[in-house]
Amino acid sequence: MVNFWKPKSCCKSLKTLKKLKISQAVMRVHAFLLLLFCFPHSTAQPQTLSFTLPSNYYEYLDVSVSQAQNLSFSVISNVSVSVYVFTSQAFSTFSQTGSAPSVFSKTGKDVKASIGPLQAGTYYFVVDNEGAHTARVSVWISEEPLSVYLLYHALPAPIGIADYGVDANTYTIKYTEVLGYAHIFS
């Protein structure tokens, strides 16, 4: 289940922040904190499952994912198993034919991954025992919101002319030629 939390004073604070004349560094910190508290957060609890999976059988779990969420999971088994994450259409094909294109695919006794950010929708988490022996499987799975902090710090670095620093200076640079385009955030 996904719960959204948005305090009423949040949007007023954002308008107030835009009006203030403060240094860029302080404004970035405030913007980060406002994004952190204004964006929807998932309060979905991780699921832990344990089951026995006979040879040539698979077990699946349907997972509803909101926009820009990651799907994190860990699968531990006594024998090698295949772990897949399918979209709804691909899972339908997989259940009929035994193979389909997947969002994620890995085989092993210890499979851990975090995939995303994913588009909103239903995904199918599949553990497939293609081996000759019965598998004892433990699964931990969780839907997690994309971290605003990581997104902010993972943007591609600018190439070309860029201004870095903590001091808030205002100046103008004029160019006669530019190739490409740029987004300047202030």
pLDDT digits 0-9 by tens, 2-57: 333 333 333 333 333 344 434 444 444 444 444 444 444 444 567 888 999 999 99
Residue type, 11: C
Q: How confident is the model at residue 178 (pLDDT cuts 50, 70, 90)?
A: low
- The one-letter amino acid code at 28 reads R
pTM: 0.57
Average pLDDT, the chain: 72
Residue 116 pLDDT exceeds 80: yes
What average pLDDT does this structure show over 161-171? 56
The terminus-to-terminus CA distance of the chain in angstroms comes to: 36
Residue 180: is its pLDDT beyond 70?
no
Looking at residue 180, the DSSP 8-state letter turns out to be S
pLDDT value of residue 21: 39
* Complete domains list, the chain, with CATH: 8-41 (no CATH), 47-145 (2.60.120.680)
Strand partners, 93: none
Residues 137, 61: contact at Cβ < 8 Å?
no
pLDDT classification of 185: cutoffs 50, 70, 90: low
pLDDT score at 129: 93
User: In this structure, what are the phi and psi dihedrals at residue 134, rounded to the nearest 5 degrees?
Assistant: -70, 140
String of b and e for 15-51 (b: at least 16 CB within 10 Å)? eeeeeeeeeeeebeebbeebeeebeeebebeeeeeee
pLDDT at 117: 84
Task: Select the highest-mean-pLDDT range: 58-67, 71-80, 172-181.
Answer: 71-80
Q: Which helix (H) or strand (E) is 105 found in, with range?
A: strand 104-118
pLDDT at 68: 76
Average pLDDT estimate for 102-114: 94
| H/E run at residue 39 | none
